[in-house]
Amino acid sequence: MKLNFNKALTYLDGEAYKDEKNEPLLMNKVLANNLIKLTTGDPLKLYDWAVALYKTGILDLDRADQEQLKSIIKGFTDMYIIAKAQMFEVFEKLEKDQ
């Protein structure tokens, strides 16, 4: 099942976060960069996920891998709740569309 993380992270008012170049901060890039900083887990799987996210923003994951990714996102200690919640909305959208 394909999860599309290729969208801008937004503030509570819906305005997009901006990066240092004043461009929208994309969820897929943030998630990819956080995955490659992990020190535990299956290195090849997580690296493959990070590369796919960074390049396309889309991950095609089965239910078990979706649950693993949710757990990883929940465990990020340096990621704000607002970003985690928007990532979880991607999972919710997939479930609603099924």
| Contact predicate 26/7, CB 8 Å | yes
The domain total for the chain is: 1
Question: Which run of H or E residues covers position 58?
Answer: strand 58-60
Q: Using 50, 70 and 90 to split pLDDT, how confident is the model at 97?
A: confident
Q: What is the mean pLDDT of the chain?
A: 96
Residue range(s) defining the domain that contains residue 93: 2-97
Check residue 94 and give its pLDDT.
86
* pTM for the predicted model, two decimal places: 0.94
* C-alpha distance from residue 44 to each of 36, 38, 72, 76, 86 (Å): 10, 12, 15, 19, 26
